[in-house]
Structure 1
């Protein structure tokens, strides 16, 4: 299998695809709301520091495991073992890791469907189809099923085309489009009254809050989840990375692009929030706490768009196209993980595997939609607060303790001839072995 395995055709393709896997609603939706809830500029400053000391070293671990294994998460983890027992346990760790993208995709695609619906609603408003727009914006089982079905269709069509013709091709189109749309949104939002106050709140840190323990834990958790650590996406994309590439450098590039998207999202969302407040839209409750993030994206910002008249319809369309792109670049990496397993283990064609597994997870999403009140929050909590952090901890322990140092060096040296002479190799092996597990444990403790 390894000999005929697809690889990304270019460095840019890999970086944009991997960054796209990391870029998602956590960056564009979660990061700005976390910043708004935790001191604005103070949160941004701490986040930028922690993304380098928490997320980046573990990103290297996952990508290195994937490239060394040249296989799906289960088989890549199995290859780290040095005995029948550690190989069997490695397969178990890979299976736990594989559960993450499957569980996350089940609820994530429902939210992706909401974004698709709001995007189509903005288009309907442009052509005067008010009743259609109202249905697309309304919360109903039928609307949720429709939106999720469209989102799954887009995801499956990209994944079935393969690494080069599907994932890489569309990532190199969608990611630049994401930055262009962000730029347009930023320029427009900054013309609105109140936007400069939001920009100042976001960029000027309150140094008295920087050492606040809640802020530090929130920034650590956001950095951890921003790069989908423990989500298998980086492991599977790492398995498609050429052995000629400098792996630590590629991981750093992915980290920088992902972080740039989060920071730029804050540049757009935070001023937009303050502009909405200027128009009388309620952003914070009576105690000064930020309203829920779902309220922000699907209620508060649309109220801002409505207050802008006809221009607001165009702004709403651009905003929800942007959000849909961000969600889609993540969903394709989630579906790719189980598709790779079925393709490699059973020899199932990529097309059949994509539709079979995509359909199965979509069916689970439908069950969630029909039992939304009971299942949506439960599945989201189990996936993101329990299974993903545990998978990340196990990846870290296996990468640091089971994977022998000489084997690590052998893998990392490919594409990085003078690895041993640099600071990275002097720090990284011990850092992954001792520091990263402690930091992940702190994130798990915070989540619980």
Structure 2
């Protein structure tokens, strides 16, 4: 029972001590500042970076529309130093899977799980100020699965740091101590996703760690230790012109930063009508019970606890995610026969723990472990009960990364799949092998 926790204890036990290098490069151009002013290990933000973002891409303690003075440029940041307004950057991400299993969860995509970008993907990032305390962010990806961001930001309403407003398409889990999308390791955090073999899986409902369109209210009063956030979203992960369902999602988050430690707790509640339910009858017939966007009957509740400790020589991240999902009873008529569907609520507990060692200004190494555990539940199809067993998914990662310049990385990562055989099943019931891999990745932002 405790075997899945053992790698986590190994990560903690390995924390022994061995300068740090690493705003998009356009922000570095604009302010003539090194990346390390806002980042620990890019793209992870330090406290200055968080304040810079919350302040609408204005320097902390300023409300001048981003016109504050320059900072000394970095010696090893090779960009065209000078004005960059509006700040626009291009990010190139690439990967090459050196060793991989012969097949994966999807027989036509055996090389995509647990991660990674293979080949190249480019993202255009643009962000800046349009007036004092009014800013924007735009992110447009090409060449990979991804969703664009585009939102307006209004900050320092009433008093410095007291109230900010974001409106548009954005990351939901963004201001947490451990946010989504800023992973140092090659794979997205196992804790955030219901099925790490498919990060877009909706088996556990429409959860928080995705992009969505909505309205976010937040603040860090006087830019002190406490950050709060309240948000309302479509809940359907909509980022462009798409049909929505009849309900909304709500979230609330509180965060405390004290010295080297940051801790946050988030609640996410979503009522949706977007997830079709697939089932198999006792006769073996495949059945589809479609969602009804006009009558939302899916409920997802999620609690995310995250913590980060940042030391000059190492950093530790911890994330715990508890999610529950339920769906209403459904019926469908096929060839004149009416079929019924009902399902018990699904509960999932997941955890990710990672440590990074900053060996010197150009070399970093890290160790991480994550697991996602489903509790067993039952489905009732046409009055027949089917038991769905537990699913235990786990991933152990070991990574070494070099940083020739502040805005460029090359990483070599070993990924060990620790999932149970019951979790490695395709929809047709056939199994697939453990997804152990060695991956070479590169990342450049200009």
TM tier, shorter chain? under 0.3
TM-score (structure 2 length as normaliser): 0.22
Higher helix share: 1
Which structure ranks higher in relative contact order (CA pairs < 8 Å, sequence separation ≥ 6)? 1
* Bigger radius of gyration among the two: 2
